[in-house]
Amino acid sequence: MHHHHTTTGLDNRKVAIWAFIGSECMLFASLISTYLIYKGRSLVGPFPHEEWVNEAGRHFHAILDIPVTSASTFVLLMSSLTMVLALQAVQLRGTPLPADAGWWTRAQRSSQTWLLGTAMLGVTFLGFQAYEFTMFVHEGLTIRTNLFGSSFFTLTGFHGAHVTVGVLWLVTLLFIDRKRGLQGPADELSVDIAALYWHFVDVVWIAIFTLIYLIQ
């Protein structure tokens, strides 16, 4: 595998992923801004943090489920840990393992374990999101119900789509790792780029969790 020498000394693919992440920052900032602009302007419920009674006398609770979302947030944070350990495992491949290496040192070398763990945590997060969306629809909130529903489903739906892409990316890397093993600078870079994308999805959720779920 040959290296792509550039005037900066940096690989073009890594420059590209950072430029892509920069553009994604602006995309999510626009979606979050839209949500915040519409915040508190819905004419009918259900509302995120307030109870509501409709004309027929039906009572609606505040719709956001903080304990469930806190759990999914924790899952996504831990997926960033497993992702960075997967990258480290690929980077350590080829370096000799000390004879007295403990379980943690050995575990750090297992890229397949960490990639699989990250993908599973990603799927778990998507499961939480599917549960949340289903509950919202069951409670009477859809993307067409009010301004909150429109901006909320658009924002979190876009984020969920990004997580889905990330999971597919990780599964592809896992498949390659199982087939021929991820090793060498080119494979390190491939995992590094996937990791950058995954961590970006995580930091977007850090912002969403605070701005949409916790701030009332």
CB of 202 to another protein, least distance (A): 6
Q: Say how far apart CA 158 and CA 141 lie, in whole Å.
A: 18
Q: Phi/psi at 60 (nearest 5 deg)?
A: -115, 135
* C-alpha torsion sign, points 88, 164, 123, 129: positive
- Which member of 4, 22, 54, 175 binds another protein (CB under 8 A)? 22
CB of 104 to another protein, least distance (A): 7
- DSSP codes joined into one string, 117-151: HHHHHHHHHHHHHHHHHHHHHHTT--TTT-HHHHH
* Crossing angle of helices 147-180 and 12-38, rounded to 10°: 160
Residue 123 or 211: the one with the smaller Cβ distance to another protein is: 211
Q: Say how far apart CA 203 and CA 73 lie, in whole Å.
A: 11
Helix, strand, coil percentages (3-state) for the chain, rounded to 5, are: 70, 0, 30
CB of 95 to another protein, least distance (A): 12
Binding mask 185-214 for another protein (x = CB under 8 A): ----------xx--xx-xx--xx-xxx--x
Binding mask 49-88 for another protein (x = CB under 8 A): -----------------x---x--xx--xx-xx-xxx--x
- Which member of 1, 2, 9, 98 binds another protein (CB under 8 A)? 9
- Which member of 4, 12, 14, 101 binds another protein (CB under 8 A)? 14
Q: Say how far apart CA 136 and CA 47 lie, in whole Å.
A: 11
C-alpha torsion angle, residues 113, 118, 122, 127 (rounded to 10): 40
Residues 96-155 that bind another protein (CB under 8 A): 104, 108
Which span (2-10, 122-130, 146-154, 176-184) binds another protein, by CB under 8 A?
2-10
* C-alpha torsion sign, points 180, 183, 186, 188: positive
Residues engaged in binding another protein (CB under 8 A): 5, 7-10, 14-15, 18-19, 21-23, 25-26, 28-30, 32-33, 36-37, 39, 66, 70, 73-74, 77-78, 80-81, 83-85, 88, 91, 104, 108, 195-196, 199-200, 202-203, 206-207, 209-211, 214-216
